[in-house]
Structure 1
């Protein structure tokens, strides 16, 4: 290989290596800065697999409506809700044969046990902070579940489908970012030394004459 050919190839490889390192660093930075949609309440997995699956941050609102029997008849919409203390939630039936039963909760609020049909409504004002979970008794096994977080003093998790800061190994990458950086720097140094050696001492007798 001629010296100039090697230098072109070494320069291209070094540039590509540097570009790869920049992209990796950029990705790591983006992951560290998080993006991911902020935080949402941690409902402890209560609504995992629930029908509907909608989440609403309604902090700042004095009144919020939950659709009972929406989403095809077997969902509370929104399924997950975050409100301020003192907010009133109005439960409005949009299909028949549902009720609202609260599990043990911080404020001992009462639901509505009798089965009701479309057009019925009742309301609850949440004066105590915490996590409230509830369900429709006839359709609980079918995923008709709901949860309400009240106030700021509730556990939270990253919102946005698993967004937020993540380590590279959590994303399936077997190496850490600083190892990539170290390997990149070492590769650049070795390329520079090898290029310097060839420039100073000339081509090897075994590289061929080239054209």
Structure 2
């Protein structure tokens, strides 16, 4: 039985080795097929990538051309706009200059008129001041005259009153003296 066992084991080993060999061959074949497919796929992908790159390059060249054309058009438009703006600014500048000159002329005229009016007003004020000064001096002289006349009248009045008081006092004194003398004589004392 040991011999049968060994034989069965040997047979099993041989079958396993055969199966492993077949499997290895299948694996190798599969690997070769996969490598072939991978190479073919790589070649296709490379071709597609190259085609894509060529299309991209062509598109890029077209885009660059379009951008350059747009840039040129923009520069031309900018130059045209700058020229037009300069022309418009020159027109506006001239109109503004004329308006400014007219405004300056009007302002100068108004200033001259105002100066003339001020000079006239100053002359009138000076004239009025002169007249007022003359009137004030005349009034002062009149007041001084009146003051002098009042003072003289007051002095005269005081002198008159003083004289009257003195006369009346003397008259009363004399009368009183006479009355006293009469009284004394009547009593026999004098």
TM-score, normalised on structure 2?
0.23
Answer 1 or 2: which has greater helix percent. Answer: 2
Answer 1 or 2: which has greater strand percent. Answer: 1
**Greater relative contact order: 1 or 2 (C-alpha under 8 angstroms, separation 6 or more)?**
1
TM-score, normalised on structure 1?
0.21
